[in-house]
Structure 1
Amino acid sequence: MNVVTFGELMVRLQPYNYERFVQADHLEFTFGGGEANVAVSLANYGAHAIYVTKLPAHAIGQAAVNSLRRYGVDTTKIVRGGDRVGIYYNEKGASQRGSVCIYDRAHSAIQEATTADFDWDSIFEGVDWFHFTGITPALGPNVVDICREACKAAKAHGVKISCDLNYRGKLWTREEARAAMTDLCQYVDVCISNEEDAKDVFGIEAEATDIYAGEINREGYKSVAK
């Protein structure tokens, strides 16, 4: 199976072990991104995984590309250009202390990309499946446009489309997410969501369920799906 995933690949800076940011004097340097993680997983399962994004042509951008190549991900469709790779700082949680994620991704190459950067007709030749998440269009109205063009091209090529709603309140408002994802999901064959995303993005709540109080009614999820 040939699968295309599309999103942002970022530098991940994380203290060693379970140190807090204020304790750390060294940070571990790796790369991460929701759709990139999917591509790596698919490649590990034996699928032909093609990852699409835009990255600068400098050494950090190349290191990001290499981080995917080592797992067998096809990086030939990655567009090169722009000035920076987005960064996120991650502090791992421990016991009752939750994780902390701080974004520094403004003006990244993919955030400033345009629809002219991607030749989706070429990208989707011979492809079976296209996957993206709600994180990618959250980067800006221009990236919503890119996702829409990708979905239209995928449909024209008979490619199945999946989307993980994956709402990120640090990137956009619920109202912005609802407008964009309502539009994009008209093209989607498989929508992946949990009860929190369904509520945040579409205002759809599971019956007799309070996600914040931990009160779960399994039958209520049938109504969410409908």
Structure 2
Amino acid sequence: MPKIVTFGEVLLRLSTPNFQKIEQATSFNATFGGTEMNVGASLVKFGFEASHVTTFPNNLMGQKAKAFLRQLDVDTSHVILEGDRIGVFFLETGAVMRASQIVYDRADSSFANINPDLFNWEEILAGADWFHWCGITPAISEGAAKACLEAVKTAKKLGITVSSDIYYRSNLWKYGKTPQDILPELASYSDIILASRKNIEEIFGLKVTVEKGKFIEACKLLMENYPTIKKVIDTERIQVSASHNQYSAKMWNGEELLETDFQDITHIVDRIGTGDAFLGGFIYGQVILQDDLKSLQFGAAAAALKHTIEGDQNMVTVTEVEAVMSGDKSGRLRR
């Protein structure tokens, strides 16, 4: 089986039941989610081996979180239990014209206080085919940024494909560094980047001057300055309402722009983790299908299906994704 290693924080997810607002809720559904781990969990459903590297508090909540990953068949051999608390996010799921809302409570978490010296990346990455990181992780703390840098350096030395979701959250950077200080060096060890034209300009200080084909021009500038990067991918979401979205994907692979048709998603159950589902599907396409356009199409179909799955992880199979790719969107009962 192909093996992916992912690195990042996993949060306790507390969501309101039955589309309630947070102020209405007297109980919350408890599960766990984290963008990198979600990518690995998707790939487990597609037949990959996945190992997630993180820290959890050394208490009952940390043990519960670790058990949750094992239930997803994600390897926890390199999960470290230390610290006192797990990061939390509260989710209020919107409907129709009412937007979903998230409230984070992740300060001083076990992962925020991570000690990068605890991870032996040569050992962790042994036998891996792919390593994935996200721009949120190095935003959390200096320790997390150092650990991520050591991971990508080691992966590159071992010849492992490195991908990144370079999207970041500006309000997380509170330890004296900016995305511009940290993310360019991390990206210089990556082969595939998920980024928008705006991300590329803001993070890397590159300026697009053309009026048409701005995404292509941004990708060309990025690849010229960071020759390790071979492919840039991005997704587009048209928000008709909180319950109805349209979703597509595109890629510049250094030679041509590839784009998928829009997936029309009319009755959203849960849109959290859909970008992670896209990346899981895309990575499957790169490793198994070995075709750039099919990788985008598989990723977009996987993301569309994730909108129908409650929770952070995409619990669908290759067969289900292939059905959507082939145009079967009837939801017809299968026996």
TM-score if structure 1 supplies the norm length?
0.89
Moved runs in structure 1, 4+ residues, more than 6 A?
Answer: 205-209
Q: Is the 8 A contact 2:201 2:218 kept in 1?
A: no
Q: How big is the shift at 1:179?
A: 1.5
- Aligned residue for 2:188, secondary structure, equals helix
Q: Answer yes or no: is the 8 Å Cα contact 1:207–1:221 preserved in 2.
A: no
Q: Is the 8 A contact 2:197 2:214 kept in 1?
A: no
Query: 2:125 matched to which residue of 1?
Result: 124
State whether residues 197 and 219 of structure 2, in contact with CA within 8 Å, keep that contact through their aligned partners in structure 1: no
| AA matched with 2:218 | V
Larger radius of gyration: 2
In structure 2, what is the Cα distance between the partners aligned to 1:118 and 1:225?
33
Distance 1:199 1:12 in 2: 32
* 8 Å Cα contact 1:163/1:192 also seen in 2: yes
Which amino acid in 2 is paired with 1:167?
Y
Q: Structure 2 CA distance, aligned partners of 1:200 and 1:67?
A: 36
Could you tell me which residue of structure 2 aligns to residue 169 of structure 1? Answer: 170
Shift, 1:130, TM fit: 0.6
Aligned residues: 217
Give me the whole-angstrom Cα distance separating, in 2, the residues matched to 1:196 and 1:17.
36
The whole-number CA distance in structure 2 between the counterparts of 1:127 and 1:21 is 41
Q: Is the 8 A contact 1:3 1:50 kept in 2?
A: yes
Task: Tell me which residue corresponds to 1:92.
Answer: 93
Partner of 1:194: 196
Amino acid at match of 2:147: I
Equivalence for 1:28: 29
Matches within 5 A, 1:20-99: 20-99=21-100
Output the amino acid matched with 1:224. Answer: A
Identity %: 36
Q: Structure 2: how far apart are the matches of 1:6 and 1:93?
A: 29
Unaligned runs of 5+ in 2: 221-335
> Which amino acid in structure 1 is aligned with residue 95 of structure 2?
A
Q: CA contact under 8 A between 2:161 and 2:191: conserved in structure 1?
A: yes
Q: 8 Å contact 1:124–1:154 — kept in the other structure?
A: yes
Structure 1: distance between partners of 2:17 and 2:202? 33
3-state SS, counterpart of residue 53 of structure 1: strand
Point out where structure 1 has 5 or more consecutive residues left out of the alignment.
210-216
Q: 1:93 to 1:208 in 2, by over 3 A?
A: farther
Measure the CA separation in 2 of the matches of 1:9 and 1:166.
17
- Flag the 1:102–1:188 CA change in 2: closer, same or farther, 3 A: same
- Distance (whole Å) between structure 1 residues aligned to residue 215 and residue 55 of structure 2: 37
Tell me the TM-score normalized by structure 2. 0.61
Deviations 1:67-110 (A, max 9, x none): 11112111111111111110011111222222211111111111
Question: 2:14 corresponds to which residue?
Answer: 13
RMSD: 1.9
Q: Equivalent of 1:224, from 201, 218, 222?
A: 218
